[in-house]
A = this chain, B = another copy of it.
Amino acid sequence: METKFDFAKSLVWSAGAFLKAQMDQPFEIKEKTDFTDLVTDMDQKVQDFLMEAITEAYPSDCFLAEEGDVFQDIHEGNIWVIDPIDGTANFVAQKTDFAISVGYYENGVGQFGLIYDVMAEEMFYGGGAFEVFCNETPLPAFEERPYSQSLLAINPGMYRHNVAGVGDLASQFLGVRTYGSAALSASKVLAGQLYGYISNISPWDYGASKIMGDRLGYATVTLSGEEPSFKEREFIMMVPKTRLADIQKVLEI
């Protein structure tokens, strides 16, 4: 597994370099479900870059990936869960604050995850049998602290409409943040900068962070505390395992 993990690290760095080298060229933007749900040709190019390299190295491995609805069952075989550009709106409007997210599962069990904040050149990697790092720094497990001294990242629509009471939950916290990237929000949880993250997201959005979070004491579950389906977009929270029950008491589920 160590060889595969090293392969993944170097591949994700390369994909980041590939993306960065093309940042200044014009790219095509298309709308998916509506004008807020964008995809660029760079999303597809980075996904192809990753999938081709993985297929060459590991021909029998399969994928669960954002672009083109590559929807393999997570519970069967070796599955790479890929979001080539997480935070596409930031990529388009800000040219920063987006990430490449790659999680690797064997028969449904997370082996390692990688989140690469391309512009900040920060790579979060580890989980499963591997310690979690941000670049050269090992990340400590969750440390208990009061809600009132901690920040929460929440999907803005869920927050505004108080979906499942997340707005009420947020009012117990020091503040709410919204970064526009599930992977980067999750990486701030891993780094201890956020207490948790709640959003309406798809498997590729949490595929990598779930594996790293699990090792550092965070549960990535539905609002009712179940394992994510890895099949569709759903309400997902990444919160300290020790506070899961407390948080569920506040939520209306």
B-contacting residues of A (Cβ < 8 Å)? 29, 35-36, 38, 89-90, 92-96, 148-151, 156, 159-160, 162, 167, 170, 174-180, 188, 193-194
**Is the CB–CB distance between A94 and B156 below 8 Å?**
no
Determine how close the nearest CB of chain B comes to the CB of A160; give it in whole angstroms. 5
Give how many copies assemble into the complex: 2
Q: Which residues of B contact A162 (CB under 8 A)?
A: 160
**Is the CB–CB distance between B89 and A151 below 8 Å?**
yes
Q: Which residues of B contact A177 (CB under 8 A)?
A: 178-180
**Is the CB–CB distance between B159 and A93 below 8 Å?**
no
**Is the CB–CB distance between A176 and B156 below 8 Å?**
yes
Which 7 pairs from chain A and chain B are nearest by CB? A94-B193, A178-B178, A156-B176, A35-B148, A93-B151, A89-B175, A89-B174
Extra A-B contacts (14), CB below 8 Å, given A89-B175, A175-B180: A36-B174, A90-B151, A93-B149, A93-B174, A93-B193, A94-B151, A94-B188, A156-B176, A160-B160, A160-B167, A177-B178, A177-B179, A177-B180, A178-B178
Q: Which residue of B lies closest to A93 (CB)?
A: B151
Q: Which residues of B contact A170 (CB under 8 A)?
A: 156
Q: Which residue of B lies closest to A146 (CB)?
A: B35
Determine how close the nearest CB of chain B comes to the CB of A239; give it in whole angstroms. 16
What is the CA–CA distance of A185 and B90 in the complex, to the nearest angstrom? Answer: 14
What is the CA–CA distance of A156 and B158 in the complex, to the nearest angstrom? Answer: 12
Q: Which residue of B lies closest to A37 (CB)?
A: B174
Q: Which residue of B lies closest to A29 (CB)?
A: B149
Q: Which residues of B contact A151 (CB under 8 A)?
A: 89-90, 93-94, 180
Q: Which residue of B lies closest to A87 (CB)?
A: B175
What is the CA–CA distance of A150 and B177 in the complex, to the nearest angstrom? Answer: 18
Q: Which residues of B contact A160 (CB under 8 A)?
A: 159-160, 162, 167
Determine how close the nearest CB of chain B comes to the CB of A167; give it in whole angstroms. 6
Determine how close the nearest CB of chain B comes to the CB of A198; give it in whole angstroms. 13
Q: Which of B175, B178, B193, B194 lies in contact with A36, CB distance below 8 A?
A: B175
Determine how close the nearest CB of chain B comes to the CB of A53; give it in whole angstroms. 31
